[in-house]
Structure 1
């Protein structure tokens, strides 16, 4: 059997053979689904620690706090970066920025990329955070807003509710996500490297990513 025969056989199984009453069954039977759902056994605390460590490895700045201290922490983060304006998703919990002083800018349908680029920072929630890969996933939910408001501003502060939004692995995350939604997978600040491995950050997204792991958040 040639490589061509193998590839065409897989295509036929995926599409279903002529007259097959249930093409989906043919495909499901041909695909091995025995992969691990997660690697190893961890407590909730160990899973959150793994997330924090992998986020840091990707050069995200990680903070830990609780619900009561969250507004003060966000105030300090925005102040330390010199942010004068902050983009706010439509349903960001109002208490999160209760202590912050920058002018809040709402994302509007008519906002252009140039308008969004004038904002110094954006604060959002997330859909889920993956410990094994150090990845934050956004799905355009009300506390996250449209994808572009997290890609254009230079500084993104993302709040992750612990432990509710933290999962161990990508398969566990996929169980929670709707593939029909606009998913953005973020592992550290935007970066690229040239042939000499000179790293440049902020090329196609935020130059600075700060992740706040907050316990007891609404």
Structure 2
């Protein structure tokens, strides 16, 4: 009897996860231009005001992402190279505090594993980690971009393994379309995202270049508003 119950329990557990599985991983990058597209956001948080820039470029090899976060005494830059299917190849992150590099993280992605190296300054201490990657793993550089390339529709959701650069571990990244709204005169999907930084809500333009018009980060209590032309 116990031998009969075990397969049944496993079937219920894993069958339920399959029934509630997220949408297939398909992306649309056709709207990304060959010349760099830069979106600039004004950010407001308890630390004050700042700027947040996201630059996307399509190349012969795939897609390049460049992020720049500027706040009072703090700058974070991220550069990443991805395949045309938005699979990460490599990324570099640098955090500057009061004009000096305090942390630098490099990630490289292979077929079965990824390598993370973090240099802590001013101690010049390097921490290196190899993590298994049996399937697609999202790089931390992709979090501000994924909702723009996924086929958003009412009720759609996705879940991916992703890199947490704070702990050098793999954690879930989930996106879920929770509704629709008009933000600053632009028709948008409302997308809830959960990643290593916590929960955020993005308002993503339905058509055109699928710009993210507004971002609210719950834990950080930060709001980012796209600076429109």
The TM-score with structure 1 as length reference comes to: 0.25
Q: Which has the larger radius of gyration?
A: 1
Structure with the larger RCO, 1 or 2 (CA within 8 Å, 6+ apart) = 1
TM-score, length basis structure 2: 0.24
* Structure with higher strand content: 2
Name the one with the larger helix percent.
Answer: 1
